[in-house]
Amino acid sequence: MCNNILFFRLYLLIVVSFLSIFSFFISKHLFRLVFNNLKFLFIFNQLKKEMSCNTDNYVSLFSFYVLRGNLSLSVALSEFILEMNDNFIDKYLVYDSLAYSYYSNSFYAVSEYYCFKVLSCSPHNYKMILNLANIYSDLGYKTKANDMFIRVGKLESDYLLS
Give the pLDDT confidence of 36-45 residue by residue, as tens digits. 778 777 776 7
Same domain, 133 and 162: yes
Share of the chain above pLDDT 70, in %: 85
Same domain, 87 and 156: yes
- Give the total residue count for the chain: 162
Same domain, 88 and 146: yes
Q: What is the mean pLDDT of the chain?
A: 80
Same domain, 139 and 80: yes
Decide: 148 and 134 in contact? Cβ < 8 Å: no
Q: What is the pTM of this model?
A: 0.63
Cα(115)–Cα(133) distance, rounded to whole angstroms? 11
Task: Say how many domains are in the chain.
Answer: 2
Same domain, 137 and 74: yes
Same domain, 43 and 83: no
